Amino acid sequence: MAVKEKHSAPTMDDVAREAGVSRALVSLVVRESPNVSDERRRRVLAAAERLGYRPNAWARGLASRRTRTVGVVLNELHNPFYAEIMDGIDEGAATHGYRVLIGTAGRRSRGEEAALEAFLEQRTDGTILVGPRLPTERIVRAARLIPTVVVARGMRSSAVDSITNDESAGARLVVRHLVGLGHRAIAHVDGGTGAGARARRDGYRRAMREAGLAGAIRTVPGDYTDLAGVRAAERLLASRDLPTAIFAANDFVAVGLVNRLEDDGLRIPEDISVVGYDNTFLAALHHVSLTTVDQPRPEMGRRGFDALIERIDGLRSTPLHVRVTPSLVVRATTAPLR
């Protein structure tokens, strides 16, 4: 029985033999060194094309101390909020000629830690953490080793740049909208330990006090998942003291709330108004039509990537902390109190 020979990928030595030049010259061409004549450069590139040779990005990076790759740690993939931020990061990477490696964490700080360590080992030029749950001190330690930007979570460190939404302003928009519709019994299902959850929760409480509703503040523990919305709805239903409006920590929570409340025969918004946060594509679906707070997700991703490139290229050593302004998108899940 004949054994099929396994052909390995062409190497730099193969290109050198094909072009009739030294391996050192091929290396200079691969590194885009200016110290090569046009005629020899053309000869090496033609040989590489004939052989199908592709330079090893990691080897190239060892020589130039650049890999032109950036690692992105996404807290989770199920929530479209993170995917929409990733769209902006991809756009920035394409503009600057970088490749992106993605690590996912499954809403676990341990998963983020593993992804971050992998990027450090692979010598990416920088890293972007999207909605991380890692402790601040761990992120700062990483930033001392590699340029690091955090998106969708506020940071106060001078070593780490951050691009975030004004969570407190977003919560204020929600409460003012609901109060303007006549609601007073407004509950908040929070996002647990998720990025920005504390700021949204604090913003809700502050806005309720500003509206003279300190005595009506009601927070239900949750997380950034639809299941958390279902459980919060069940908890409210069991209390037999339903609010007339609910501010959910994000769109996923809001969808879980709406589904469970409607299963119990309640009408949205006739019986209870519901507001989400993030304005993901889910909120705009016709059968959902969720009133929600809009964060400019792709813009946040693009600005995060631009900030990282400034750090990588040494154009800036001072901290950059950008806080974008949210807006309220009113749809069909809120209505005046009856």
| pLDDT band with cut points at 50, 70 and 90 for residue 237 | very high
CA distance 149 to 131: 11
Res 56: pLDDT: 58
Q: Order across the sheet with 126-130: list the strands.
A: 99-104, 69-74, 126-130, 148-151, 161-165, 321-324
Task: Please determine, for residue 337, whether its predicted confidence score (pLDDT) is greater than 60.
Answer: yes
CA distance 271 to 261: 10
* Residue appearing with tokens 């004939």: 50
Res 61: pLDDT: 52
Closest listed residue to residue 301, CA positions, set 95, 78, 134: 95
* Residue appearing with tokens 């303007």: 180
- Give the mean pLDDT of the chain: 90
CA distance 335 to 327: 18
Res 6: pLDDT: 42
Cα dihedral 260, 200, 111, 100 sign: positive
Closest listed residue to residue 292, CA positions, set 150, 206, 174: 174
Res 75: pLDDT: 83
Higher pLDDT, 314 or 149: 149
CA distance 56 to 59: 5
Question: What would the pLDDT profile of 278-311 be if each residue is shown by its tens digit?
Answer: 999 999 999 999 999 999 999 999 999 999 999 9
CA distance 168 to 206: 8
Question: What would the pLDDT profile of 104-137 be if each residue is shown by its tens digit?
Answer: 877 777 888 898 888 988 889 999 999 998 999 9
* Structural domains of the chain, ranges and CATH numbers in brackets: 12-54 (1.10.260.40), 69-165+297-325 (3.40.50.2300), 167-296 (3.40.50.2300)
* Residue appearing with tokens 């930033």: 143
Higher pLDDT, 331 or 154: 331
Percentage of the chain with pLDDT > 90?
Answer: 67
CA distance 172 to 313: 38
CA distance 207 to 178: 11
| pLDDT band with cut points at 50, 70 and 90 for residue 31 | low
